[in-house]
Amino acid sequence: MTVADAFDAVAGSYDEARRRLVPCFDAFYGTTVEAAAPPLRAALAAGRTPEVLDLGAGTGLLSLLLAAAVPGVRLTLVDAAPAMLAVAADQLRARGVPHRVVRADLADPLPPGRYDAVVSALAIHHLTDAGKRALYRRAVAALVPGGVFVNAEQVAGPTPALDRRYDEVWTARITELGSDATEIAAARERMRHDRPAPVADQCGWLTEAGLVDVDCFFKEWRFAVFGGRAA
Ligand SMILES: C[S@@+](CC[C@H](N)C(=O)[O-])C[C@H]1O[C@@H](n2cnc3c(N)ncnc32)[C@H](O)[C@@H]1O
């Protein structure tokens, strides 16, 4: 089963389970929106429609939050899972948000265009480290000057001991929040596709790709939001 098949299989119930499986949901997505919003608001103030590219957009969770925070954005959603994208398109259409969905692998060339923000949530950790670095270079090249790249991500611990601790804390938190054994087993099955990397490595790759003001804006155990700005 590919990673896209694994997510397509749960497309109908994906959104409902998110707040249990991402215990820091509000701060995690909220920080991502805060980090991505300034160039979008600047584009609007300059009389331009802000363009946003959402990599591994799934059911459109992050795209919808961005569109609610900055009305007037135009979104391009990329994902390899057609059923996930169908849910996203339905939700964006229902809210009248201008968008296009592109079924593609994150290793493919990005949809043509220049973007005020390239964002991603919980998707890039499915790529190899070489794939992440290559995608970061392509994402940075697709930004307008002053545009931002923000990745809300599941990351690896910097040491094996910390990585084990991240997993213990996550398991305890999602159990407290009501995930049952079946939901945890299904999440762990999907996590067999994961290849997370530590935050420090990924911030280094973003700097190497040409971003400035690279930082980790939020981190709670295995959940981190990091990114930077195109000079
Ligand atoms: C955990 S979901 C995250 C969805 C959404 N960004 C969110 O925050 O809820 C991961 C998504 O990444 C997509 N994905 C994973 N690897 C991919 C790849 N190599 N190419 C395209 N999409 C990929 C999956 O299909 C899935 O929809």
- Domains defined along the chain, listed by start: 3-230 (3.40.50.150)
Percent of the chain with pLDDT over 70: 100
Residue 1 binned pLDDT confidence (cut-offs 50, 70, 90): confident
- The string of pLDDT tens digits covering residues 62-110 is 999 999 999 999 999 999 999 999 999 999 999 999 999 999 999 999 9
pLDDT of residue 155: 98
pLDDT of residue 85: 98
Judge if the beta carbon of residue 225 lies within 6 A of ligand 1. Answer: no
**pTM (global) more than 0.75:** yes
Side chain identity at 129, as an amino acid letter? D
Q: Which two tokens stand for residue 166?
A: 């991240």
Instruction: Name the region of 80 (left: φ>0; alpha: ψ -120 to 50; beta: rest).
Output: alpha
- The string of pLDDT tens digits covering residues 149-163 is 999 999 999 999 999
| Residue 13 CB contacts under 8 Å (≥ 6 apart), including other chains | none
Mutate to test the pocket of ligand 1, among 31, 32, 76, 79 (most ligand atoms within 8 A of CB): 79
- The string of pLDDT tens digits covering residues 12-36 is 999 999 999 999 999 999 999 999 9
Residue minimizing CA distance to atom 9 of ligand 1: 61
- The string of pLDDT tens digits covering residues 210-227 is 999 999 999 999 999 999
pLDDT of residue 106: 98
Judge if the beta carbon of residue 58 lies within 6 A of ligand 1. Answer: yes
Mutate to test the pocket of ligand 1, among 1, 3, 84 (most ligand atoms within 8 A of CB): 3
